[in-house]
Amino acid sequence: MDSQRVWTADEAHGYVLGTIVDIGADQLTVQTETKVTKVSYDGVYPVGEDLNKDVDDNCALMFLNEATLLNNIKIRYEKDKIYTYVANILIAINPYFEIKNLYTTDTLKKYQGKSLGVLPPHVFAIGDKAFRDMRALKQSQSIVVSGESGAGKTESTKYILRYLCESVVGGYISHYLLEKSRICGQSLGERNYHIFYQLCAGLPLQLCQKLKLGNPEFFQYLNKGCTQYFASSASDKSIDSERKSEQHKKKGFLSDPIVDDFKNFQSTDNALNHFNVNEADKLLIYKVVAAVLHLGNVCFEESPDDTRGGCRVKSGNSELSLQTAADLLGLDAEELRQSLLSRLMQSKGGYKGTVYLVPLKVYEAQNARDALAKALYSRLFDHIVTKIINKSIPLNGNKYYVGVLDIAGFEYFQSNSFEQFCINYCNEKLQQFFNERILKEEQAIYEKEGLGLKHISFIDNQDCIDLLESKGSGIFDLLDEESKLPKPSAPHFTETVHKVHHGHYRLAFPRKSKLKDHRELRDDEGFLIRHFAGAVCYQTSLFIEKNNDALHGSLESLMSDAKNPLVKDLFYVENQQSLQNGSKASSGKLNFISVGGKFRNQLNELINKLKSNGTHFVRCIKPNLNMVPHKFEGSQIMSQLRCSGMTTVLQLMQQGYPSRALFVDLYNMYKQYLSSKLASLEPRIFCRILFKALGLNENDFRFGSTKVFFRPGKFAEFDQLMKSDPQHLATLISKVEKWLIITRWKRAQWCSLCVIKLKNKLLYRRSKIVTIQKNIRMLLAVKKYRMRYLGLIKLQKLKSLSQEIVDLIPKLKSNEEKLKYSQKMKLIESNIAKLVTDLRNVNQKLTPSEVDTRIKDCDEAINSQIQNLKGKIKEEEALRKMQEAMEIERKQREEEEKKRREEEELKKRKLELEERFKQEQQFHSTKQEELAAVLTLQQQMEKEEQKIRERLQQEKLDYELAVRLASESGSGVNEDYCTSPTPFVVNAPKKEQKKFDLSKWKYSDLRDIINTSCDIELLEACKEEFHRRLKVYHAWKLKNAKSKENISEQRAPDSIMQNASHFTNGTSAKNSENEQRYFRIPFVRASSTTGEKGWWWAHFDGEWIARQMEIHPGKAPILLVAGKDDMQMCELSLDETRLTTKRGAEILEEEFEREWKKNGGELYVTGNRKK
């Protein structure tokens, strides 16, 4: 077997070189430098001839796949060639060091006016192409720069803008989705926004002291992540030691060729000067940034003096930070304190209601503080972009422009939240646009070259986009709906997403993730979405919080009255707009402003702009995670290439003709192998002859007007044929010469064939003339007999009307009338038949007027018959309806009589209920003394039982201590001790031996038996055990409730539950087996603020409750059914509820069923009865 070198996938390097050592049915055995492995055919790619040769455009590679793409990028990266094309897309690898002469003015000038591909790949070439396309095509252009954090997006954007500034006449900046959550916290190893560290490192000493800034570790918003500065050796010495964190002192400064916190502050300060920001306004900006940091140091604790559960600011540093933040923002410290610790509420009633303060809990105050910090920073960011930068840049009314979009690429981390969700949604939309636009550009080349190819298909991600944004059911809309609820919940939102999109291919539970950590998430803690670049698991705990961009009205009002003019300006406009819209700042309720909704609208506007513009793409790649120079991590780069859609582009190229060459270039490439006779041919003719002589499959290549296009890999096969041994080449040349002779001879044959075809065409035309004559004769005949066949058509319609009369005649009741109309009908039919005969007889001379008159007579006769017949039938119908009305009146009288008898029966049954109540009340009164004695005995036994429990608990503690000592000394321990108290029997008589031992049965097993069993004895035993366990469970919940005065779970009125605690089984006779009884008593929930009375309805099937219903004024009814809602229903037996002793509580079955059905209750089945 001829060994062949291939690329095979590798976890560390992306792809490594290997050699095929064995071929299997569905696998290859590949030998790499380190191991022998078996891989599927899909994971192996062929290797080109020269591994060290690089190309500017990956489409020029002989083998076009992701392995060769990665290898070409690697070779160029090692040569400091950081730019590579894939067709018209630029791949940019961040070098993390300055490459000499790469961005000089001379380099910039070289690319001006040069077509793409003339010079080596460069970001300047993309800028130049966009600018020239705008001028030549009279169309606005967009350059999309994307990539991960640290991939160099911003720097690439800067260089593009620098290139375009040579001809710029105006500009404008827009921004999307500021990551506000980063302000309040970062992941381990990450930093907050650069400006915070720039202020801490670069502010002059006097100003730093004025703003009370310094060490980043002092600030809560910075010390959760990395607190090291970006610096160089020189700038690090310029930073005071007091401003450096312990982490910075221990590990040193962070290095980056672009970022330097100390120097960048000077650049930022100078940039503000450039935009005509004076010293006073700059100070206001720095004050707001500093105030954000000081706000983060304001901590809260529970206030023991507040009876309403409020909190207070911690003493010490928190008080100082509060005062500092208030001073910097131009606020009164007490007012800021009050706004952070409470919010205004407005009650209903009166003209404007009553305004009062509601104290906030610790976590609520923390949320208010963080919301204020985010609002300050984001609005300051907006202010700088819109009020400073955009107003300083001239923007005239030019019709066309070049837009540069710097946007984050596809993101996936160990923990993915709302920011990654929005960014990846944006990338889904951009990927869809990217696919459509790249295909369009590629196919434009095919059209220009005249290839005549069909539309190239691609994998559509519309289903994923629909999952995210579809109206009403998309995840964004579901999140907004959840956020609008009175008590929004992340688990409920997640459950709703899984429920609405159950079975959707793109959505899965976290346990389906490939990462082990994600599988530990519960189903209601996140969801997994299969994006175009791969599956991402999102944790939804902060989705609702991050999706709300609103701020408490009291805080917003306070900010709009600040003495700091910048702060006042940041909040004044929006506050005025909210007041104009009728919102009340004092309402206390946090208004909902959807971040996702705003981002989605902005994104749709952006996509629409991109669709109307010419588009160019720059894909920025981070070569390694450490962000250091000269380190190429293949697996990381391969992942980014896939996420940026570059591997998808390769797949699209696989379906097209990505390899291409000019006829002249191809001719020059192989000229040395040709004879002098063939070398004199025109390049295009030479290529055609050559391909024919080689016998290449015509599906593997296409000839354009200036180029020849090859299928992926087919250019390599062509090259291998051309560079064969000399003997084969001589044979090939002789084939070319032979093909030329054959072609010329075939051309002469074709000319002769054309003459023969012309002769046959003339004979064909002569035969068709006869056909034309035949058709003309036919038209003359049609004209002559037109009157007759039109008359026959009208008569045919009259026959259908006569059939209607025939159908109506049987509806008459009188036989005489039937006979009369039948005779008239026969006369009319005979007239019609005679006219038909005359029309069909061509010898019978008829004029058009005569025919029309006879047809009209027949028509009038038929219509007259129909009208007379319908009138007669109508009279008979009126008589029938009168008889039916009399019958209905008789039935109504019978119904009234029946209703009267039912009312008498109902009254009788109510009297029976009253009599039964008296009997049961008398029975219970005779048992009161026995109950008192039993209760006394029960209390004594409980005291004894409690003593035993205390003793056993002590023994358990002793045992645990002995076990610890035994483990230290290596000795044994005696395990023979009692682990549970001796059970007590409440009633003095000995318990009856039970037939079924259900103590070890599961709760669900009992419920299943109750729902399915036909064994009456087992069914009753299971019901008793089931409700016994429910009582124990609810008693445990009551005992361990946080606040027994505020229990939201109230399953029955207090009058029932309190009676049950003093009730002992056996005080009354058991309810008859399967007897259905119904009750209704007043019910006021403890949580009710109005105290309005509702009603509690219960249906007992035997001893246990089967259905339960709560009806409260102004609230939705609560309907519960046993077997489904047991945990929310009353667990007591009928005897324990003492409902039978309450006068008027028991009602009739009809009353309960009527209310149950009225409130939407479903059909209830018990035994052989159906309701």
Phi, psi of 1118 (to 5 degrees): -110, 115
d(CA 418, CA 148): 17
Residue 36: CB atoms within 10 Å: 12
Q: DSSP letter at 409? A: -
Q: Which residues contact 291 (CB under 8 A, 6 or more apart)?
A: 324, 325, 328, 329, 376
Q: How many helices (H) and strands (E) does the chain have?
A: 40, 27
Q: Which residues pair with 416 in a beta bridge?
A: 538
Indicate the annotated binding residues for ATP.
147-154
DSSP per-residue letters across 98-125: PPTTSS-HHHHHHTTTPPTTTS---HHH
The residue to which tokens 């706004």 are assigned: 339
What's the angle, vertex CA 1157, arms to CA 1156 and CA 1160, rounded to 5?
Answer: 95
d(CA 859, CA 800): 11
Closest CA to 16 of 33, 28, 1: 33
d(CA 787, CA 1111): 81
Residue 1043: CB atoms within 10 Å: 7
What's the angle, vertex CA 403, arms to CA 399 and CA 405, rounded to 5?
Answer: 155
* H/E segment holding residue 936: helix 928-969
Closest CA to 648 of 534, 489, 791, 517: 534
Closest CA to 427 of 144, 46, 769, 732: 144
Write a three-state SS string for 1042-1082. Answer: CCCCCCCCCCCCHHHHHHHHCCCCCCCCCCCCCCEEEEEEE
What's the angle, vertex CA 143, arms to CA 161 and CA 709, rounded to 5?
Answer: 130
d(CA 435, CA 644): 11
Residue type, 1033: Y
**Is 121 in contact with 56 (CB distance < 8 Å)?**
yes
d(CA 589, CA 1147): 45
d(CA 402, CA 404): 7
Residue 835, Cα to own-chain centre: how many angstroms? 76
Q: In terms of residues, how long is the chain?
A: 1171
Gyration radius from the chain CA atoms = 45
Indicate the annotated binding residues.
147-154
**Is 564 in contact with 330 (CB distance < 8 Å)?**
yes
Structure tokens at 319: 């008080």
